[in-house]
Amino acid sequence: MSAVTMRQAQATRTRKRKPALRERGWFRALETMAALILIGCAGAGLYAAAQQAENLTVRELKVYGLERLDEYAIAEASGITDASNLLFLNTELAAHQIESLAGVASCTVSRVFPDTVRIDIVERIPYATVLVANTAFVIDAGGVVLRELEPYEAPIGPFISSLPDVHMLAVGNTVDSRPLHDALAVLRAFATTELSRHVTVSEIAAKHENDIRLYTRELTYEIRWGRDDFENAARRLDGLWLARNKVIGCEEYLDLRFGADLACK
């Protein structure tokens, strides 16, 4: 290649480079402007969101499903106040705190924009009264202790007494006692019988898991139940009661613990 040709080639390369540099400069300027616009939009959005968040404070709690529990106790347990922000509210934590109350079986907390929190409660239903150390406690059908009865209060449901393995109870805890849970199962089985429509269960003495004694206000005798198979025992009891024209005729006890052989004394 001659010297003239080299100079020409160099000039050609120089002419081609300059426009490319100018174009890259414009692109950088455009990219910078676009980035600044995006940052400005994002900042404006965050500012607007912050302003909106200030207007999303909780102004009202609506509690549904209450029959026995106090609405103010639910509100206090939730931890939600008029300073709480609806947007950032931890609904799962609020529900968990409410469920720590002994009388609450389950709870759902939800946001209702712009300023309301809805709380849906499923209450535990009082089922029976347990006597422990001369103190009465109300429990639900699952054996959860709902509250301690005041001395002047009437029992709820039948008494469950004579528990051999329970010496103290704590509100909110589930009673860990096989005789107690057998007594509750007996109560549920007895409730399925025709006989239960004509009498009122007053007490169940749960002396042992194989010695559950049911007392009613109307019958002069106790009904003894053994472990498990409570549904079949209830059917046998009903069959005997109906076969004898609703008069079984025992004086002291009717024992259902021996299968088809019902002992009556």
Question: What confidence score (pLDDT) does residue 258 get?
Answer: 87
Question: What confidence score (pLDDT) does residue 21 get?
Answer: 47
Q: Which helix (H) or strand (E) holds 9?
A: helix 3-54
CA distance 70 to 101: 11
> How far apart, in Å, do the first and last CA atoms of the chain sit?
132
Q: What are phi and psi of 37, to 5 degrees?
A: -65, -45
Q: Which helix (H) or strand (E) holds 58?
A: none
The DSSP 8-state label assigned to residue 195 in this structure reads G
Task: Please name every residue paired with 106 in a beta bridge, in sequence order, or none if there are none.
Answer: 122
**One fold for both 60-123 and 128-264?**
no
CA distance 32 to 214: 86
CA distance 183 to 163: 10
CA distance 130 to 166: 10
Residues of the chain with pLDDT below 50 are 1-14, 16-19, 21, 42-48, 50-51
Question: What confidence score (pLDDT) does residue 95 get?
Answer: 97
CA distance 129 to 88: 42
Chain-centroid distance, C-alpha 203: 29
Question: What confidence score (pLDDT) does residue 46 get?
Answer: 41
Which of the listed CATH numbers 3.60.150.10, 3.30.70.60, 3.40.50.11690, 3.90.180.10 matches domain 128-264?
A: 3.40.50.11690
Q: How many other C-beta atoms lie within 10 A of the C-beta of residue 54?
A: 10
Question: What confidence score (pLDDT) does residue 4 get?
Answer: 34
Q: Which helix (H) or strand (E) holds 157?
A: none
Task: Please name every residue paired with 174 in a beta bridge, in sequence order, or none if there are none.
Answer: 144
Q: Specify the fold of 60-123.
A: Ubiquitin-like (UB roll) (3.10.20)
**pTM of structure:** 0.76
Domain ranges in the chain are: 1-54, 60-123, 128-264
The DSSP 8-state label assigned to residue 136 in this structure reads E
Asked whether 81 and 58 are in contact (CB, 8 A), the reply is: yes
CA distance 89 to 258: 59
| Burial class, 56, CB count within 10 angstroms (exposed 0-12 / middle 13-18 / buried 19+) | middle
Which tokens is 135 given? Answer: 């103190």
